[in-house]
Amino acid sequence: MDWIYIAQLRKHVGEDVEVRGWLRRKRSSGKIHFLSLRDGTGFVQGIVEKSSVPEELFNIAKKLKMESSIIVRGTVKREERAPGGVELLVKDIEVISIPNKEFPINKPDHGIDFLMDHRHLWLRTQRQFHILRVRHEIIKSIREFYNERGFVLVDTPIFTGSIGESAGNLFELDYFDYGKAYLAQTGQLYLEAACMALGKVYNLGPTFRAEKSKTRRHLIEFWMNEAEVAYYQHEDNIKLQEELVSYVVRKILENAEDHLRALKRDTKRLEKIVPPFPRITYTDAIKLLQKKGFSTSWGDDIGGDEETAIAEEFDKPVVVEKYPRKMKAFYMQPDPENPDVVLCDDMLAPEGYGEIIGASERIWQKEVLVERIKEFGLDLDTYDWYLDLREFGTVPHSGFGMGVERVVAWICGLEHVREAIPFARTLYRIHP
């Protein structure tokens, strides 16, 4: 008898198969047991009828508890009433293990503190299964997007020196007797180096921010995809971002629509995500906010509520570009038409999911960069290799970073990014 994964059962109607998995729930009548089974690929119901199986098998089924690990053998039967279209008429159950304790997650309305404490078991529930499958598809499609376009994967280091956007938010650790090392909060500077060697490059990996942020959009450890392209300027950069985001959404609709439906995501809203995306300058965004009753003025940050207010004007992600120079990082290229703003953009996801991309054209002239480093009060010496990139064969280049969990949260319609990653590191929570 062949071992078949539940996701493939529809191709085996009428056959006797073996399913290796777990019992996620059991409902019983006096003479029939309904075994809700999962095996990591999907869910199926096993039927054990007293009148058609040996008494011993019926009694084994009776003793099974939630999250018993079992190998079930039986006949695949088409069944219109079943959610997946098929059921398993059980002929044999091989018990691997029956827990002694009751499974703690046994109803739909546990509190978030309890669930996070039991994340290692929470992962087994249907909702988390669907979310993590979508996350997998999203990451897969991000890689596909770049690979199809001739980008080269460049893995940037996680241990770094102190350079980056802002040294205050870095996790610090001892690097033997060498001094301090820091966990990367971006791989951008390394990608800038790599794009001068390989043209079009990207990375995808974990980043760390030592910010005491406690909101639905923040994790301490989160995954970021960054891209950097030599000779790309502001417009090329925005176009690449639009293509990436719409590609990912399209691929998820193609490959993971079942999961989105199971998560009760309104996929109609995702079907609208095709380029071009609406654009607004920072300056116009401030005017829009003022018209909507915010007291924000030019030079102020655009906070969470303001982001949501801007995003709700559009049914696609909106590109907010050309922020004031003083608000943004030192390496961003000033706009030749208005040196008070820089050639950067943030992409805000619809439905209040906030910033999913931060991007800019980078300063490529050495003198300008040196000037900006000084202006920001940064230590020129720590930027020695970064300045080298402007010494040897410097060219205009641009790039961006996309927060994977925020994209997952948006596409899945989650209320909080902590469900968008297998084991979330949030403020003060590192176990399990």
> Which 106-165 positions form the footprint of RNA (CB under 7 A)?
106-114, 116, 165
Out of 30, 339, 377, 393, which residue is the one contacting RNA (CB under 7 A)?
30
Out of 1, 8, 27, 197, which residue is the one contacting RNA (CB under 7 A)?
27
State yes or no: residue 209 binds RNA (CB under 7 A).
yes
Q: Which stretch binds RNA (CB under 7 A): 132-140, 151-159, 207-215, 381-389?
A: 207-215
State yes or no: residue 372 binds RNA (CB under 7 A).
no
User: Radius of gyration (Cα) for the chain, nearest Å?
Assistant: 26
Out of 187, 354, 396, 399, which residue is the one contacting RNA (CB under 7 A)?
354
Where on the phi/psi map is residue 413: left (φ > 0), alpha (ψ -120 to 50), or beta?
Answer: left
Q: Which stretch binds RNA (CB under 7 A): 255-263, 311-319, 348-356, 384-392?
A: 348-356
Q: How far apart are CA 354 and CA 420, in angstroms?
A: 15
State yes or no: residue 75 binds RNA (CB under 7 A).
no
Out of 155, 254, 305, 375, which residue is the one contacting RNA (CB under 7 A)?
305
Smallest distance from RNA to CB 393, Å: 26
State yes or no: residue 192 binds RNA (CB under 7 A).
no
- Closer to RNA by CB, 2 or 56: give it: 56
Binding mask 221-250 for RNA (x = CB under 7 A): -x-x--------------------------
The count of chain residues that interact with RNA, using the rule CB under 7 A, is 74
- Closer to RNA by CB, 73 or 209: give it: 209
Whether omega before 422 lies within 30 degrees of 0, making that bond cis, reads: no
- Closer to RNA by CB, 114 or 159: give it: 114
Tokens 């994790």, located at residue: 219
- Closer to RNA by CB, 29 or 337: give it: 29
Q: Identify residue 380 by its one-letter amino acid code.
A: L
Residue 89 sits at φ, ψ, to 5 deg, of: -85, 105
State yes or no: residue 297 binds RNA (CB under 7 A).
no
Q: Which stretch binds RNA (CB under 7 A): 15-23, 79-87, 129-137, 246-254?
A: 79-87
- Closer to RNA by CB, 152 or 327: give it: 327
SS3 for the chain, per residue? Answer: CEECCHHHHHHHCCCEEEEEEEEEEEEECCCEEEEEEECCCCEEEEEEEHHHCCHHHHHHHHHCCCCCEEEEEEEEEECCCCCCCEEEEEEEEEEEECCCCCCCCCCCCCCHHHHHHCHHHHCCCHHHHHHHHHHHHHHHHHHHHHHHCCCEECCCCCEECCCCCCHHHCCEEECHHHCEEEECCCCHHHHHHHHHHHCEEEEEEEEECCCCCCCCCCCCEEEEEEEEEECCCHHHHHHHHHHHHHHHHHHHHHHCHHHHHHCCCCHHHHHCCCCCCCEEEHHHHHHHHHHCCCCCCCCCCCCHHHHHHHHCCCCCCEEEECCEHHHCCCCECEECCEEEEECEEEEEECCCCEEEEEEEEECCCHHHHHHHHHHCCCCHHHHHHHHHHHHCCCCCEEEEEEEHHHHHHHHHCCCCHHHHCCCCEECCECCC
Smallest distance from RNA to CB 207, Å: 8
- Closer to RNA by CB, 175 or 376: give it: 376
Out of 148, 214, 268, 337, which residue is the one contacting RNA (CB under 7 A)?
214
Binding mask 315-344 for RNA (x = CB under 7 A): ------------x-----------------
Q: Which stretch binds RNA (CB under 7 A): 13-21, 26-34, 227-235, 376-384?
A: 26-34
State yes or no: residue 34 binds RNA (CB under 7 A).
yes
Smallest distance from RNA to CB 157, Å: 18
Q: Which stretch binds RNA (CB under 7 A): 135-143, 212-220, 267-275, 373-381?
A: 212-220
- Closer to RNA by CB, 255 or 281: give it: 281
Residues 6+ apart with CB under 8 A from 163: 189, 382, 383, 386
Residue (of 206, 225, 199) closest to 141 by Cα position: 225
Smallest distance from RNA to CB 42, Å: 13
Out of 75, 104, 136, 378, which residue is the one contacting RNA (CB under 7 A)?
104
**Which parts of 381-420 interact with RNA (CB under 7 A)?**
401-403, 405-406, 416-418
State yes or no: residue 252 binds RNA (CB under 7 A).
no
